[in-house]
Amino acid sequence: MSKSLVDVPPMGGFSFDLCRRNDMLAKKGVNPPSFRKTGTTIVGIVFQDGVILGADTRATEGPIVCDKNCEKIHYMAPNIYCCGAGTAADTEAVTDMVSSQLQLHRYHTGRESRVITALTLLKKHLFNYQGYVSAALVLGGVDCTGPHLHTIYPHGSTDTLPFATMGSGSLAAMAIFESKYREGLNRDEGIKLVCEAICSGVFNDLGSGSNVDVCVITKRGSN
């Protein structure tokens, strides 16, 4: 206790001082709590002018829905957004942290952020924690090199794809994409396809539900 009083403000990063006590409790048969997961369907596609990201809005705590309208599409940069699935605290913390790092980088370089920068920062952090930071992300954005869409797994591996899905509803959404996706979709067709994929996740997966959030990113701006 005295050591932490000296440490104000804290140095940043994780603090492990309660681990020993928690392990002792676990040995005595007292189980740790379940964390809030986002049991989700998140998707992204590349269309002719940019990238469209979509997500459902249900947050679960075990079998109970604790938030009927939570935001899973996180802001990273004016031209980059990221959807998160997995443990809610991890996705929020990791995307907030990388968003601040990108802002500092923009001040340093005086240029618009690139999607590949966000990707590298995220995968470095997740690999560092060997999958214990349980965040599965779909990262999408448009920069000077064009539109990009990536998926990032909790252990730090990444894929670059024209269409991607993650979360517990990912199989249902991927089925829609595999049958209906084609290159060079226009904005309305793209939005319709993303909504269909999320709805498929919402109806067929118990962990996804409530509303659908859609984010369209183009060279001109995001909304």
Partner 1 sequence: MSIFEYNGSALIAMVGKNCFAIASDRRLGVQLQTIATDFQRIYKFHDRLFMGLSGLATDAQTLYQRLVFRHKLYQLREERDMKPETFASLVSALLYEKRFGPYFCQPVIAGLSDENKPFICTMDSIGAKELAKDFVVAGTASESLYGACEAVFKPDMEPEELFETVSQALLSSVDRDCLSGWGGHIYVVTPTEIKERILKGRMD
Residues of the shown chain interacting with partner 1 in the complex, contacts defined by CB under 8 A: 8, 10, 13-22, 25, 29-33, 35-36, 59, 61, 64, 66-67, 70, 87-90, 92-93, 132-133
Which runs of consecutive H residues, i.e. helices, occur in 152-204?
170-180, 187-204
Which residue lies nearer to partner 1 by CB, 71 or 112? Answer: 71
Residue 153 in tokens = 């797994």
User: Which CB atom, from 32 or from 184, has the smaller least distance to partner 1?
Assistant: 32
Residue 159 CA to residue 184 CA, distance in Å, equals 21
Place of tokens 């595999």: 178
Given 38, 40, 57, 87, the catalytic residue:
40
| Closest distance of CB 62 from partner 1, Å | 9
- Nearest approach in angstroms of CB 14 to partner 1 is 6
* Shortest Å distance, C-beta 18 to partner 1: 4
- Distance in angstroms (rounded) separating the CA atoms of residues 173 and 199: 8
Report yes or no: 217 and 50 within 8 Å, Cβ to Cβ: yes
Beta bridge partners of 44: 53, 164
Which residue's CB is nearer to partner 1, number 30 or number 104?
Answer: 30
Catalytic annotation present for 120: no
Please say which residue, 5 or 144, places its beta carbon nearer to partner 1. Answer: 5
| Helix (H/G/I), strand (E/B), else coil: 3 | helix
Active centre residues (catalytic): 40
